Each structure stands twice: as structure tokens, then as C-alpha cells.
């Protein structure tokens, strides 16, 4: 029913958003919390990380996505696959726009000129809350990836 779908979407959104906020808070001082290649690319473009570091992050992000897929597959769980309720072109544009919007929030939240500091509680809060909002909007339409390797690799296997 529609009510069940809405509550599942809410649960997924809150689960992903709070998990992301927690991991960003835990790892921001260690690695800058580069869990997403789009964020790493944006950080390179605005000259916050080097090209070498971006490629190292990308390699680890793809490796992490492959490892997660292998674990889910070994457990016979078909999670992470995209289930579109829109056509492929619309899904691509929605995911692209959602990813760009989320990356903008990350860049704004980590902008030292705005007084933002990655290690304080506001940064993970902004990142997590924006992730929740985007999941609420995109889960019913695209399954909400917001992470190119996770989306592409989960659907390739």
C-alpha cells in the first residue's frame, strides 16, 4: 500500500542520513569523509585536494562499493539495486541533479570562508539532513543512489 511505501521510504532516508552523519562525524578528521567520488571530484575542482589524492579516494571508493556488493551477494541480499519508476533519462537527470545539490551542500558546509569547520557537529548535521531530504524525494523515483559507483556497480552485478 501507499502508506507502507511511504514509511519504508522514510525509514530508508532516516537510516542512510543518520548513518552518513555519524560516519562523517567520526572520519572527517581522518580522511575528510570522502565516501563519494562526486564529493572527491568537487573537492579537487575547488582545489581542496590534489589530483593524486582524488584518484586514491576514487580507487578506495570503487573498492568499497565492490566489497559491499560482494558481501550483499554472499548473503543473497538484493539491496542497492536501482528500481526506476521514471524513464532512464529522467532517472539519470534526477540522480545528477540530486548529486550536484548534495555536493553543493558538502562544499558549502566545509567552506572555511563561511566559518564552517569540518570537525564540528554542524558539518555532519548538514550533510546528513540534506541526504535525508534528497532520499525522501528520490527513493520513490530512482531508488536514490547519489553515489555513482554504488549505483552503477550494484546494477552491473
Q: What is the pLDDT along the chain (157 residues), one digit of tens a residue?
A: 566 677 788 988 999 899 999 998 888 878 778 888 999 999 999 999 999 999 999 999 888 888 887 887 788 766 655 567 888 888 888 888 999 999 999 998 888 777 656 557 788 899 999 999 999 999 888 888 887 666 666 565 5
Contacts of 126 (CB under 8 A, 6+ apart): 105, 108, 109
Question: What pLDDT was estimated at residue 47?
Answer: 94
Contacts of 48 (CB under 8 A, 6+ apart): 110
- Cα angle for residues 56, 91, 13 (degrees, 5° grid): 70
Distance CA 44, CA 107 (A): 11
Distance CA 142, CA 91 (A): 6
In terms of Cα–Cα distance, which of 1, 42, 28, 38 is closest to 117? 28
The pairs formed by 87-94 with CB atoms below 8 angstroms and a separation of 24 or more are: 90/141, 91/141, 91/142, 94/138, 94/141, 94/142
Q: Measured in whole angstroms, how far is the alpha carbon of residue 93 from the centre of its chain? A: 16
Question: What pLDDT was estimated at residue 2?
Answer: 62
Amino acid at each position: 500500500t501507499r502508506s507502507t511505501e511511504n514509511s519504508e521510504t522514510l525509514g530508508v532516508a532516516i537510516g542512510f542520513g543518520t548513518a552518513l552523519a555519524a560516519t562523517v562525524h567520526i572520519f572527517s578528521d581522518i580522511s575528510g569523509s570522502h565516501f563519494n567520488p562526486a564529493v572527491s571530484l568537487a573537492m579537487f575542482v575547488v582545489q581542496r585536494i590534489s589530483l593524486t589524492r582524488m584518484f586514491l579516494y576514487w580507487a578506495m571508493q570503487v573498492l568499497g562499493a565492490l566489497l559491499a556488493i560482494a558481501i550483499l551477494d554472499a548473503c543473497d541480499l538484493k539491496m542497492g539495486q536501482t528500481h526506476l519508476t521514471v524513464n532512464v533519462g529522467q532517472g539519470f537527470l534526477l540522480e545528477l541533479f540530486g548529486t550536484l545539490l548534495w555536493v553543493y551542500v558538502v562544499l558549502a558546509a566545509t567552506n572555511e570562508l563561511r566559518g564552517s569547520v569540518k570537525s564540528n557537529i554542524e558539518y555532519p548535521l548538514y550533510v546528513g539532513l540534506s541526504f535525508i531530504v534528497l532520499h525522501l524525494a528520490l527513493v520513490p523515483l530512482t531508488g536514490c543512489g547519489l553515489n555513482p559507483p554504488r549505483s552503477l556497480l550494484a546494477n552491473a552485478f
